Amino acid sequence: AWGFWNFCHEAYQSTPHSGYRKVRQWGQKAPLGCFSFTSNIDSHWTASGFDSERVIEIHGAVKWLQCSKPCCADVWRAPKDLKLVEDVTHRVRGTLPVCPKCKAVARPNVQMFGGDANFSKARRSAQLNRYEAWLKKLESRPDYESLRLTCVELGCGLTVPTVRKELENVLQRFPSARLIRINPENPGLMQETADKGVSVPLAAGVAIDDISKRFTVQPLATFILWDQRGGGAEMRAPLQTSVGRLIRLCEMHGVLVEMSKTTSADVMTGNHSEHVTLERTLHVKHFKEVKATGKEFELTAVLQLRDAIFVNGPSSVLQSRIDSVGLFLDDVNRRFGDAKYQEEVQMCGDRR
């Protein structure tokens, strides 16, 4: 058996392809975080830089070992080099890894097909507990029903449909969740989820590249959000960002917002305002060109939140803008009150 596992262990030391990095970058854009739920046993998600606290290796991983008896549920990391040599008979030579407690031969912490009563579930259980806690935290949010939780399924077949079933379960738990099923051979959707998903019959690498390109072409705008107590935040975000996502982006950047199921916003345009819901994206008419730095102008929208409070008042970015405006007004008032300036004003025939 260790002839096979040694081959796997060495093969999985390879560098993950760029698709892993690109998907990780998608996750970094998600205000409420993300998880990788994988049936792969090569640990490539964590090797590519994905947070190990945000990965569920549902079938285990070759890079982790356990007792073969097992005498306990302990799981430990395998050394990078097992120092085993495989000859033409496919039997290894060298010292096999052993359990540190009972000294029995160790085995990879990988769940075998056909039933594997000796598989230690300790590591997987810890991963699943973190994952379930994250989902329950999302379910407890006031904006739970409008959360556009996106499940990206990459190359999950029908032979071992563990991942497919889990993502379909998530669709049932979150009313606004969506599924992107990327699979050149089995891209079909169940009738129950057809209206919440899209099939992409392409190889994973091709689909990932195409989706990544779409992330980079979104025009940005400046959004300024206020509550009714003087708290608020300012941020740059894609033009088509919904009100709910703007609030979640605030949270992503450490700005605490207390909201409720009735939270919404009024978009301020001159002397007028228009009420918008959390799921609503703003129309181009809601933006105005505002002078930024130098000669640059930025599309800017101002929103007054209803039934929401910025816990710590204005964010640091918005407070900096408030301070700058305050200094500018102080300077104007000081210059306006200067005696020489007032004398010059009195001498002007046209004071417009």
* C-alpha dihedral sign at 86, 117, 73, 12: positive
Contact 37, 167 (CB under 8 A): yes
CB count in 10 Å sphere of residue 338? 10
- The residue out of 140, 173, 189 marking a domain boundary is 140
- The residue out of 83, 116, 140 marking a domain boundary is 140
CA distance 108 to 51: 22
What CATH number does residue 237 fall under? Answer: 3.10.20
Same domain, 100 and 229: no
Residue 201 lies in a domain: no
Q: Is 67 annotated as a binding residue?
A: yes
| pTM of the predicted structure, to 2 decimals | 0.85
Q: Is 34 annotated as a binding residue?
A: no
Q: At 180, is the pLDDT very low, low, confident or very high (cuts 50, 70, 90)?
A: very high
Model pLDDT for residues 139-164, shown as the tens digit of each residue = 999 999 999 999 999 999 888 899 99
Exposure string for 187-218, b = 16+ CB within 10 A, e = fewer? eebeeebeebbeebeebbeebbeebbeeeeee
Of the residues 9, 17, 44, 59, only one is catalytic, namely 59
- The residue out of 84, 111, 140 marking a domain boundary is 140
Same domain, 12 and 130: yes
Same domain, 18 and 121: yes
Q: What are phi and psi of 171, to 5 degrees?
A: -60, -35
Our count of domains for the chain comes to 2
Same domain, 125 and 247: no
Q: Is 59 a catalytic residue?
A: yes
What is the pLDDT, as a whole number, of residue 294?
65
Q: What is the extent of the structural domain holding 320?
A: 220-328
- Of residues 2 and 236, the one with the higher pLDDT is 236
- Residue 2 scores a pLDDT above 90: no
Same domain, 136 and 226: no
Q: What are phi and psi of 158, to 5 degrees?
A: -95, -15
Q: Is 348 annotated as a binding residue?
A: no
Model pLDDT for residues 284-319, shown as the tens digit of each residue = 889 998 876 666 788 999 999 999 999 999 999 999
Q: Is 99 annotated as a binding residue?
A: yes
